A and B are shown apart, each in its own frame.
Chain A
Amino acid sequence: MTIAAPITLASTMADRVGLLWPELLLLAAAMVVALMGLSKDRTIRGAVGPVSILAVLASGLLALFTGGADAAAAAGVPFPALAQWLKPMVALIAAGLMAVQGGFVDQALEAAIGRNAAAFNPLRAIRGEFHAFALFSIAGVMLLTTATDLIWIFLALELVSLPTYVMVAIGRGDRPGLEAAVKYFFLGAMATAIMLMGFALLYGATGSLQLDLIQNAFGAQAATGGIALLGVGGLMLASVGLFFKITAVPMHFYAPDVYEGAPLPVTAFLSFIPKVAGFVGLILVLGTAGLTAGELPRPIIALLWMAAILTMSLGNMGALLQRSMKRTMAYSSIAHSGYMLVALAAGTTDALDALLFYLFAYGVTTVATFGGLAVIQRAGGDADRFEDLAGLRRTHPWATAMIVLGALSFTGIPPLLGFFGKFWILTSAFEAGQIALCVFLVVNSLVSARYYLRFMATPVVAEPDSNATPTERNPSLAPVLASVAFGLALLVLPCFTGSIFGWVQRATDPAMGAAASAPAAAQSADSR
């Protein structure tokens, strides 16, 4: 039994590189910004952030024009058009997340240099590395979308995760950040181990690491009495390992501590980028066992079902009890993973589309909300108590408006983008017959309104405590600009849901790239 079918290597290499231009651009940009961050010139160091954002946007544009579905299908990518949606979408939102990070790294150091109170010391400056790591992480997500085998998935996921551990640690370099990074790293390593164990079982069960061959093997097993225990165990362990990335029960415990310890902009990054990676990983791995055909083994469906309900409910209940905004957001992000797991458990193509759209809506809302929250800070750290938002209406009217919009969208209030995400998941789950999941989703949305209301009410209604030290203004304008841009998108994009839905639906359409994959399949059959 061979590990990979001997597809003619020369042609596929060229095909695969053709799919990877956006990633290559990001990696090159990462090198450039890492060097720029060491420059003695303050303006060049100041350009690190904008250059990173431009690089991310450029990679998104590049993804639109390169690596068509036909090429992907020829390279054996299981969902050939998936990257066509995910890469531009991730690039757009990652650009927003990078803007939210604007100027927070090395803030005190740069301010001191600006006052001539300190000299530039390349050993202490981390802005370049930080942005390079962020770009690596984004490149990892993009790589994942065109993965064709388990090793690729594993490496891409590590490329997503490892930089984020560092970002948590060095973002401010303070004690909470370091502690969070240590926890995140060790627990992440454990989850990866579990996932690798799953991959090993999958290899054992099917004799291949290549996704299309695994799919064929599972298909053959399903036709003759069902997927074997080894395969089911592999799928299950791989899924549970991936649950860590999406903060789903039972792998969610780290999230509140890590999100709270990390600097606020990194928290925003964590609540989107690894999550996309985790869901893409789940889609690819479970896709081998008939995710969209509704043919998943029953234990896997049961696992997704239980995980969805528990993740939604524990996330929302946890969020109700928090005083820290970042912790609340951590639980809220757990809850949103639960909603998306509903779509996964529904297991239809339509539900998969709903999930992919939900990721987008969730990302846009995340940028709008976190950008708004990032306008204030406190003595070099984050302003993280709800009380810190009091009176924000007067000092930062735009940021307040965007926080309110973001919270409304998270809650799922029409006509904002978040509503359409939830609506689509609900309808698809309903059509798939998952009535209980729908009920849980609706009830949980209702519960979530209570803590999202605090994000809306505190800045608008509450008056600041006159005894408390007032919060400081974030010197960078980038977060509020990103917040306004993405907040307005929450209002405007619903008018174009038709086009966006069409785009998403094409991303999972098995007919995309079919023309190219047919000869490829014939070729591999010949060579076999």
Chain B
Amino acid sequence: MTLSPLTSMLSGTMMASSDIPAATIAPEMAWLGWALALPAISALVCTLMALGKVKGKLPGWLTVASLGTCFVLIFKAYQSMPEGPVVIPLAEWMSFSWGPTDFHSLQAALELYIDRLTIFWMLFVTGLGTLIALYATEYMEHDVKAGYARFFAGVSIFLFAMTALVMGGNLLLLYLGWEGVGLASYMLIGYFFTRPSAVAAAKKAFIVNRIGDLGLALGIFLTWRCYGTIEYSELFQVTANAPREGPWEESLIPYLLMLGAFGKSAQGPLYVWLPDAMEGPTPVSALIHAATMVTAGVFLIARCYPLFLLQPDALTVVAWIGGLTAFWAATIGMAQYDMKRVWAYSTISQLGYMFLGLGLGTTFGACFHTFTHAFFKACLFLTAGAVMHGFAGQLDIRRLSGLSRVPGFRMVSWFALLGGLWLAAFPFSAAFFSKDEILVAGVGSDRADFQFLGWLGLLTAGLTAYYTFRVWFRAFAGPVHFEPGDEVHGDDHGHDVAHDHGDGHGHAPAAAHAHHHGEFHPHGPRWAMKFAIAIIGIGAVLAGYPAYESMFLHKENWVQWMISGSTAVGGAGVVEHVAAEGASHGHQVLGMSAHAATSLAGSIFGIGGILIALYLHLIRRSAADSLRRAIQATPIIGWIPNAAEHKWYVDEIYHAVFRVPLWVTGHVLHFIDKHILDAGVVDGIGASPSLVGRVFRPLYGGVLQSYAVTMAGGVGLILAWLAYTWLRGGF
């Protein structure tokens, strides 16, 4: 394993993607195909178990085992990773050909495209997948008799699809995985299918994603149309030689791909599905809707970065959408009371940072932030899940307080604090460095709009720190006080099962404690959940190691090394490209280097946000309420708190602008179809043959002779026409 020389990436005005080496074919690495096969097998077996109504935790352990093996395989691939990209053919798949050139054939084999970016992504996808599945074996235990196997079948399908998405060797496999993760997400959001809100949320996620997926599909069509291939190994060689100003269809490609990415990663106008997706069981929220699936959009853009570099304006759009989404989601997150919803908005916001990074040209920053975010956000969700599990579904931060002093929740609270500090980008935490990488690319840019986005990102960091610690100080600190939930969050236990806890007392039945606070005994998580939380928390700490290493030991950042030589590396080229135009790290901001200024400002915003939260939500909680009342009483800005709590009424606006007109159109068309087309035209015409038949059909069907005459007439017509054309002068 040799380090690719850093200098190759810093060599000034490097052209986009020209440094992506040609892929080598490595059939001997076909064992990596098991990473694709194992989750598929596990999904199949879990489905059979669900159909066979298997009772017990076997599906859970099966899934954990298969995902764990996947992780081991990926780790093995990491250790034996070849220098350049590698294509591993597994099986023949699509292969059409209708002419001599590339544009007359469509090839999409079942093959893997392995470069460092692939391995990097798969490492945290399978690693976190394993740990969260382990967590879920305990979290979902109350459903052992109902949907346990179905749940793990969904998780396995998700992992299979995610593997296809990340490791697939062509855009068609990526699309397969893309739709597969969408399907798994739909199944798992709607896991509690008896709850109308869960069903609605699942449908919302699915439908909103369709809009993005349409963009992705069209993008893939156009990619094929413009470059004649959808196989990465060929595509990036073609684009490396493509002229910078291609035909107009070519300029649409990045915008269409971007639309797909925005749908899956809940960006821009398509973010609305993600908060509702929290209706799913918490491990699903942690795995799919925080750590892995939602980063598929980031992966798509990183993978197809050479296509984006051909259209620099597209990257500016990505930057703007990302930056604005980060800010917008943070403002909503400040006013929510449901812990999981706050984390959901923070996910949207953090994804916005990643897109900002991609747009600003620092794919390294985006990938690094994806990496750190995956850990700390999974940690936050898993701690929220532990609270939900222990307090009968309660997640309202107005009804929970001082959990760090409740027996069994001490560890959960401290890991929630860890996740919170990381989310708030507390100085010298992992996320501090990764976010810094993104923001410095904006603040230190020469372009005014990028500078604006950089400072907006810094402001957002302050808001993030505030809303994160608003939750922590409310729920985990302060005097002990809690009300159990009303079990509407059905992913908690059926209380008819009395189970024994580590502390010895059995669980009281539902009726006994749901409305009697005195008798409610919250139960803390047991080993599987604690283990998963601890490992992921430690992972969050270690995720900062690459930054410490590069800072103190002056080594190359591991993440940077992991994306070097991949398709995303073109981004490094662009940063340096921008640098060559006079921007970047050497640029002076506020009298110091851009890096120092960003770090300092980030620290100030972050700590400031935390201190405000400390005052308003721990030291003088009444001050928060009076502040809110004061704002509400002020004439011009009085509407803001309510509007923020109602998510700026975006759902209502979408409802009025899109859903109502579509609903009305649908009903009008239905009316026309039913009462005019069907009743009048179709039935009318349909009735006429039988009317005619009554006169002309003495036998069962039509008359033989008339058919014969008609056919002969047809032949006669044809011959007459032939004779006519011949007489007119031949053919």
Contacts and interface: CB of A to CB of B under 8 A. Distances in A.
Pairs of residues from A and B, 6 with the lowest C-beta to C-beta distance, nearest first:
A250-B714, A498-B95, A257-B701, A321-B686, A298-B731, A498-B92
Contacts of A427: 96, 98
Given A498-B93, A501-B96, A232 B722 contact: yes
A299 B722 contact: yes
Given A257-B702, A299-B725, A350-B98, 14 more contacts: A176-B700, A183-B701, A187-B711, A190-B708, A191-B711, A226-B731, A233-B719, A237-B715, A251-B711, A253-B707, A321-B682, A424-B98, A427-B98, A495-B110
B630 interface: no
B259 to A, nearest CB: 21
Nearest to B701: A257
B722 A323 contact: no
Given A250-B714, A321-B686, A187 B704 contact: yes
A495 B547 CA distance: 45
Interface string B216-227: 000000000000
A240 B718 contact: yes
B104 A501 contact: no
Contact of A236 (B98, B707, B718): B718
B685 A321 contact: yes
A54 B719 CA distance: 46
Given A250-B711, A297-B731, A260 B104 contact: no
Interface string B90-103: 01111111110000
Interface in A227-251: 229, 232-233, 236-237, 240, 244, 249-251
Contacts of A321: 682, 685-686, 689
A431 B104 contact: yes
B714 A236 contact: no
Contacts of B721: 299
A232 B714 contact: no
B704 A183 contact: yes
A194 interface: yes
B553 interface: no
A326 to B, nearest CB: 12
B710 interface: yes
B480 interface: no
Contacts of B95: 497-498, 501-502
23 contacts: A179-B699, A183-B704, A190-B712, A191-B711, A232-B731, A233-B719, A237-B719, A240-B714, A244-B711, A249-B714, A250-B718, A256-B701, A257-B702, A297-B731, A299-B721, A299-B731, A350-B98, A431-B98, A495-B110, A497-B93, A499-B92, A501-B95, A501-B96
Contacts of A182: 704
B730 interface: yes
Interface string A462-481: 00000000000000000000
A495 B701 CA distance: 43
Interface string B673-698: 00000000010011001000000000
Contact of A183 (B94, B707, B718, B719): B707
Contacts of A176: 700
Nearest to A354: B98
Contact of B715 (A179, A194, A256, A499): A194
Given A175-B700, A249-B714, A187 B93 contact: no
Contact of B718 (A180, A187, A303, A322): A303
A299 B728 CA distance: 13
Contacts of B711: 187, 190-191, 244, 250-251, 253
B726 interface: yes
A502 B94 CA distance: 12
Interface in B653-689: 682, 685-686, 689
Contacts of B714: 240, 249-251
Nearest to A432: B98
A65 interface: no
A186 B708 contact: yes
A253 B710 contact: yes
Contacts of B686: 321-323
Please classify the interface of chain A as helix (H, G, I), strand (E, B), loop, or mixed, using the class held by over half of its residues: helix
A61 B718 CA distance: 42
Contacts of B682: 320-321
Interface string B584-625: 000000000000000000000000000000000000000000
Interface of B: 91-99, 104, 110, 682, 685-686, 689, 699-702, 704, 707-708, 710-715, 717-719, 721-722, 725-726, 730-731
Contacts of A249: 714
Interface residues of A, number: 49
Contacts of A237: 715, 719
B370 to A, nearest CB: 31
Contact of A187 (B97, B98, B110, B707): B707
A266 to B, nearest CB: 16
Nearest to A191: B711
Nearest to A502: B95
A232 B712 CA distance: 19
Contacts of B110: 495
B44 to A, nearest CB: 14
Nearest to A240: B715
A497 B95 CA distance: 7
Contact of A260 (B689, B701, B731): B701
Contact of B719 (A191, A226, A236, A424): A236
Interface string A312-351: 0000000011110000000000000000000000000010
Contacts of A154: none
Nearest to A175: B700
A179 B726 CA distance: 41
A498 B94 contact: yes
Nearest to A197: B715
A251 B92 CA distance: 42
Contacts of B700: 175-176, 179-180, 257, 261
A254 B93 CA distance: 41
A69 to B, nearest CB: 21
Contacts of B722: 229, 232-233, 236, 299
A461 B4 CA distance: 60
B708 A187 contact: yes
A428 interface: yes
Given A175-B700, A186-B704, A321-B689, A496 B92 contact: yes
A175 B700 CA distance: 9
Contacts of B718: 236, 240, 250, 303
A431 B710 contact: no
A399 to B, nearest CB: 18
Contacts of A175: 700
A502 B689 CA distance: 46
Nearest to B91: A495
Nearest to B726: A229
A226 B91 CA distance: 49
B98 A497 contact: no
Contacts of A232: 722, 726, 731
A498 B105 CA distance: 11
A341 to B, nearest CB: 14
A256 B104 CA distance: 39
Contacts of A229: 722, 726, 730
Nearest to B721: A299
Contacts of A257: 700-702, 707
B724 to A, nearest CB: 10
Contact of B701 (A179, A186, A297, A350): A179
A244 B708 CA distance: 12
Interface in A159-209: 175-176, 179-180, 182-183, 186-187, 190-191, 194
Nearest to A225: B730
Contacts of B708: 186-187, 190
A254 B707 contact: yes
A500 to B, nearest CB: 10
A251 to B, nearest CB: 5
A226 B729 CA distance: 13
